[in-house]
Structures are given as structure tokens and as C-alpha cells.
Amino acid sequence: MRFLARLGFVFAICVAISACSSGPRMVKITGTLKTNDKPLKIDSNGSVTVIFSPIVEKDAHFTTYTGIYRTEDPTFVINEIPEGKYKVSLLCMVLEQTREIQDINEKFSAQNTPIVREVKGGIEPLVIDLAKP
């Protein structure tokens, strides 16, 4: 009988610990990329990687979260990302690099991007307009 009581106590402790999450809530987000209020157009064989980097203290380690944007379905999805504030960078990958694509890759690189977004559960899809970051 004591064994069952101890087992029940251990089980209760495990449940209590797991109920107390040790970090931000994980959420799914969707979004779209635009330029001047129109969906961003890229080569149909290309894609844009949308990279969310959490805003952290200098030299702190962090995890990035990525989604893929394609012109035929002008959205991106990140299935699991912690709520918080993020810098958003872009990497366009196409067969033929135009000047416009090179400019996007430079202006919205991880080092240069002016895009900052708050990620929260239950929000509308994120709209990132490159003309109005």
C-alpha cells in the first residue's frame, strides 16, 4: 500500500511540474509578403525563406524559426514558434538573380532588416510589406 501511495505522490509531482511551463507559449503563425500592398512576386521556381530571430541580449544564444513563401500561394507558415518579439529577415532564392532580388536579400538580411514583429497566439496573419517594413 505504501508503494502505491509513493507512486501516486511521484505522479502528482510530475503532473505539477509539467503544468508549470518554463517558457513562452508555442504558437502557429501564418503570414504574407507584400510590396506596396501587392503580393511579392518572385520567379515561380524560386522561394523566399522568412526567418524569425528572437530579439535577445548581445551574444546570447537563440533559435531561429523559418517559413517558406512562394508566389503561387502567397503565404508562409511557421508551425511552432514561441510568443515574443522577433527580427524578420528574408532570403530570396531564385535561379536568376535580378537587381531587385539582390536588393531584397541585402536590405532584409539578418544584419540589416528593419522588420520587427510581435508573435502572439490567436492573431491575424502577419502582413509584411517590404515597402513599409
CATH number at residue 76: 2.60.40.1120
Distance between CA atoms of 108 and 111, rounded to whole angstroms?
Answer: 8
Residue 9 within a domain: no
Q: Using 50, 70 and 90 to split pLDDT, how confident is the model at 14?
A: very low
Asked whether the beta carbons of 119 and 29 are under 8 A apart, the reply is: yes
Across 72-92, average pLDDT: 95
Asked whether the beta carbons of 82 and 120 are under 8 A apart, the reply is: no
Residue 83: predicted pLDDT: 96
Residue 2 within a domain: no
Q: Using 50, 70 and 90 to split pLDDT, how confident is the model at 107?
A: very high
C-alpha grid cell for residue 64? 531561429
Q: Which domain holds residue 68?
A: 25-129
C-alpha grid cell for residue 126? 502577419
Residue 20 within a domain: no
Residue 72: predicted pLDDT: 84
Q: Residue 83's closest CA among 120, 48, 46, 110? A: 120
Across 94-103, average pLDDT: 93
Residue 121: predicted pLDDT: 86
Q: Give the number of domains in the chain.
A: 1
Residue 65 within a domain: yes
Least confident of 19-33, 75-89, 101-115: 19-33
**pLDDT higher for 9 or 97?**
97
